[in-house]
Structures are given as C-alpha cells and as structure tokens.
Amino acid sequence: MVVAEEHAMPNSRLQLSTAARPQFDRRNDRGLLAVLALTPGLLLTLAIATFVVAGASSEAGLVLLASHVITQFIVLLIYGALLVEDEGLDPLGRALFAITFLFGAPVALPVYYLLRVLIPAGPEARGWALAISPKVVPA
C-alpha cells in the first residue's frame, strides 16, 4: 500500500507504509543484531564440541545442532531483509553477501554486522531539507 501526501513537495518521494510489518533499524537495534549474528555460530561451535567430547550419538549435541539450524534459518531471514534494504551496497556486493550468507553464514553474519551495521557506510539521514540558505551572521 502506497501512502502519498496530498500536498507533496515537488522533491519529495512516495513513502511505503511500514506500519503493518515491524522491521529492525540498523542504527537503534545494533545490540540485538549483534546477538543474532553471533548466536548460530556459537550454537554450532557448542554442538561440535559436544560431539567431540561426548561422542557422535550425544543427545545434547543433537539438540544443539537442531537449535543451530533453527536459529540460523531465522537469523538468515532477518539479515536477508537487512541486505535487501541496504542502500549502500551495489548489486554485486549484495550478491556476494547473499552467497556467503548461504554457504558460510556463521562467519559471514558477523562480518556483515561489522561492515554494514556497526560501522555505517555514510552519514545518517536526518530528513528532507525544505530550503537551503546560507547562515547570516550579523556584523
């Protein structure tokens, strides 16, 4: 659903309504996104360590591995949405990150977090300027 103002300024653009779907803000939700990036890799590491220590038929290792698969799927959905909405990446960068998310997610997710979420690519948008005029300083 597209929401447009009736008296839109000539330089304004149509805004998509996002009221129906919650989304992560990469500036405000950095802590939560960091936890999400690290959780699947941590679960996989714990599952491998449990298999090495307790044997291949360890129930705890199987539970940790299943937890890794489930959380990895959920985190890939969230980070995939962030990747699609990332305006600072060109199509090649998006494709490379998408491929690394699929084949090396426990490493690629923290790398994407460090490069694209923690360290912003450019200055944060502050809104649309209605008029630009030089600041006049009284003499």
Q: Is residue 1, in this structure, part of any structural domain at all?
A: no
Beta carbons within 8 Å of 101's beta carbon, 6+ residues apart: 76, 79, 80, 83, 108, 109, 112
CB 94 within 8 A of CB 86: yes
CB 44 within 8 A of CB 106: yes
CB 133 within 8 A of CB 36: no
**Which DSSP string corresponds to 45-77?**
HHHHHHHHHH-TT-HHHHHHHHHHHHHHHHHHH
What is the reported pLDDT for 20? 47
Number of domains composing the chain = 1
Render pLDDT for 100-138 as a digit per residue (tens, 0 to 9): 999 999 999 999 999 888 876 555 555 555 555 556 667
What is the reported pLDDT for 88? 82
Query: Span 48-55, mean pLDDT?
Result: 92
Q: Is residue 111, in this structure, part of any structural domain at all?
A: yes
Confidence of residue 44 (pLDDT cuts 50, 70, 90): very high
Query: Span 83-103, mean pLDDT?
Result: 90
Give the predicted TM-score (pTM) of the model: 0.66
Identify the residue with better confidence: 139 or 16.
139
Q: Is residue 128, in this structure, part of any structural domain at all?
A: no
Q: Is residue 125, in this structure, part of any structural domain at all?
A: no
Q: Is residue 77, in this structure, part of any structural domain at all?
A: yes
Structural domain boundaries enclosing 70: 29-120
7 pLDDT above the threshold of 60: no
Q: Is residue 64, in this structure, part of any structural domain at all?
A: yes
Q: Is residue 11, in this structure, part of any structural domain at all?
A: no
Q: Is residue 130, in this structure, part of any structural domain at all?
A: no
